[in-house]
Amino acid sequence: AAVVIMACDRADYLERTVASVRAALGVRPGDVDKFPVFISQDGRHKATRAFAEGPKAKDFHWMQHLEDRPPTTRTRFRWDSVAYYRIAAHYKWAMKTLFDDLGYERVIVLEDDMELSPDFFGYFEAAGKVMDADPSVYTVSSWNDNGQKIHVSDERRLYRSDFFPGLGWMLHKALWRELAPKWPDSYWDDWMRLSDVRRGRESIRPEVCRTFNFGEVGSSKGQFFRAYLREIKPASERIDWASQSLAYISNGDAYEDQVRRTLASATIIDSPTQVRLVPPENAATNVYKVIYASERDFNRLAKRFGVFAEWKDGVPRAGYRGVVTFKMYKGRATVMLVP
């Protein structure tokens, strides 16, 4: 898979990301050859280009996206809204360059404000095999929207999600061929979360994030950063993903059956105070479900339990069939918000 770091005018952020990518590539012999890295710069920011072509980005490939004309809209937007039009155009150009012009089969998309876990590339190689074999897999992501320290524990656990997580993700050439003709003019990530774009497919994502987003300053103006992003727990173990069985995540129907069985045996609660601590060896069976009746009801309960209270096109963040799963008390209890 080619790796592309999407950059614009944050040279200091880019330097931190490049150092992290280089460190992750050095964990396993051969990854430098398996994962060629491209820095795709949008615009003419001099410091960003100087770094991307300098010695600290040695062996990475720099490419530059220049718009023929600024994006236009039918209505008047603030500057930060126009920025999202520029971002969507940059993404489309970078994907076209890597897939159509250079012929890569898979692309891992990073942004210039991310640090990677030590097992980042091993994770994507293993999960990528699941994606290749199962057409119900939409993308592979390194991100969990509810990956805060208080909600995660198992660094080996993966999930399927109807919500496209983004923030360090991989897609296949076949998906790009499908998306390219209808790529949106702006807000590409929310567009990928639409049901008529996703078409019932699911993304694979980890319980514990394989990326840490440090970008408080950017086009989103630090949206959600203080409330959620800075509390994300990045993975710290060097897991040998080639030795991990991913059979439980590899078949969509079997995965759904597994979730249904877990729900059937879970204890119904409606408040965090009803969660009971058990010895760590009993944590796997200490499962609770919280029933919600509507999006508004979900948001109320999500805030009560401290998870992301947001939906996109009828899907809650990190949701699978409307079920949002997270941990409590250092992994000694599992809680599932259930429609």
CB 138 within 8 A of CB 164: yes
Domains, the chain, in order of start with CATH, read 2-234 (3.90.550.10), 262-337 (3.10.180.20)
pLDDT tens, position by position, 304-315: 999 999 999 999
* pLDDT value, residue 77: 47
* pLDDT value, residue 90: 96
What values do phi and psi take at 107, rounded to 5? Answer: -135, 130
Given 31, 189, 297, 313, the catalytic residue: 189
CB 159 within 8 A of CB 207: yes
Q: What share of the chain is helix, strand, coil (3-state, %, to 5)?
A: 40, 20, 40
* pLDDT value, residue 227: 63
Mean of pLDDT over the chain: 93
Share of the chain above pLDDT 90, in %: 88
* pLDDT value, residue 191: 96
Q: 300 Cβ partners below 8 Å, 6+ apart?
A: 292, 309
pLDDT tens, position by position, 66-115: 986 666 555 444 545 788 889 999 999 999 999 999 999 999 999 999 99
Does 189 participate in catalysis according to the annotation? yes
Per-residue exposure over 166-195, b if at least 16 CB sit within 10 Å of its own CB, e if not:
bbbbbbbbebbeebeeebbebebbebbbee
CA triple 219-319-243, angle to 5 deg: 95
* pLDDT value, residue 224: 61
SS3 205: strand
Least Cα distance to 309 among 337, 332, 282 occurs for: 337
pLDDT at 200 over 80: yes
pLDDT band at 216 (very low <50, low <70, confident <90, very high): low
pLDDT tens, position by position, 22-74: 999 999 999 999 999 999 999 999 999 999 999 999 999 999 999 866 665 55
Q: What is the pTM of this model?
A: 0.94
* pLDDT value, residue 225: 62
